[in-house]
Homo-oligomer: A and B are copies of this chain.
Amino acid sequence: MAAEQQQAGGSVWTRPQRPRREQPALSREQIVAAAMELLDAEGIDALSMRKLGTRLNAGATSMYSHVANKDELIELVVDEVYGEIATQDPAEASDWRTEVTTVAQSLRQAFLRHPWIASVLGQVGMSSLGPNLLRLSEQMIGALETAGFSLAEAERGMNTVSSYVVGLASTEAAWLTVLARSGQSQQEWVDAFWPAALQAVQAFPRLSRLYAAQSEGFDVDSNRVDSFSDGLECILDGLEARLRRAAE
């Protein structure tokens, strides 16, 4: 610490180098950005106000002038994640399916870029009403409404799609978090866990067959993205069906 400085000098100059009002030295944006870095680098457990403070060359409680709570801070960071997703230019009006698919894929990838978000969504919920989330909602509802759905139908469709994306991406992200915490490579982790999984599953015939089939190697990652796209298209098929049904 700076203990020796305090002992050497008087209390007058102990921290003269603190550049008080040249610029506020701490801003909401900086805090949110630093929190995002910390979360991406070390995960949710490493985010403490003290660590965030030191990373900003500030005290532990200095952020409370700009942010009410740790919870509010987290809400802000979450919306920042949503902010990474660009809304499409409405000029290039493409197929509604590709438009919805684009948003969904971007959302998934944003979640996988910031896996800590899974551990946080259950506390913050989608209820935070941050501007970026609202923007995404507006776009998706817009795509569905111009496709021919009523406004209420469009909202339900959006809820269905986004629930699917959030649910699946959360599971994936949680898995990534566990993986990261274990410190092993993906292959190591799978190898280590596979026997236990096989044994846990052996009382269930279909799961056993499934796991056995998956044993004879296949690419885990590519299967995952296929699986995501497949489920998404399944939902879109369901939506398209009711669109056609309404048109007749």
Q: How far is the CB of A27 from chain B (nearest CB, A)?
A: 22
Among the listed stretches A3-11, A60-68, A205-213, which one makes contact with chain B, having 4 or more residues with CB under 8 Å of it?
A205-213
A200 touches B123 (CB 8 A): no
What are the nearest 7 A-B pairs in CB distance? A167-B167, A125-B174, A160-B231, A238-B238, A118-B122, A163-B167, A163-B168
A174 in contact with B204 (CB, 8 Å)? no
B142 touches A206 (CB 8 A): yes
Is A96 close to B, CB under 8 A?
no
* Chain A interface SS verdict (over half): helix
A89 to chain B: closest CB distance in Å? 16
In the complex, A204 Cα to B164 Cα: how many Å? 24
Q: How far is the CB of A240 from chain B (nearest CB, A)?
A: 9
Q: How far is the CB of A145 from chain B (nearest CB, A)?
A: 6
**Do A210 and B163 touch (CB < 8 A)?**
no
Contacts of A241 in B (CB 8 A): 237-238, 241
Collect the chain B residues with CB atoms within 8 Å of residue A236's CB. Answer: 238
Could you show 10 A-B contacts with beta carbons less than 8 Å apart? A122-B174, A125-B178, A127-B171, A138-B206, A154-B206, A156-B230, A159-B231, A170-B170, A234-B235, A234-B238
With known contacts A159-B227, A231-B156, A237-B237, A138–B170 Cβ distance under 8 A? no
Closest chain B CB from A39 CB (angstroms): 13
Contacts of A99 in B (CB 8 A): none
The answer for the CA separation of A98 and B154 in the assembled complex, in Å, is 25
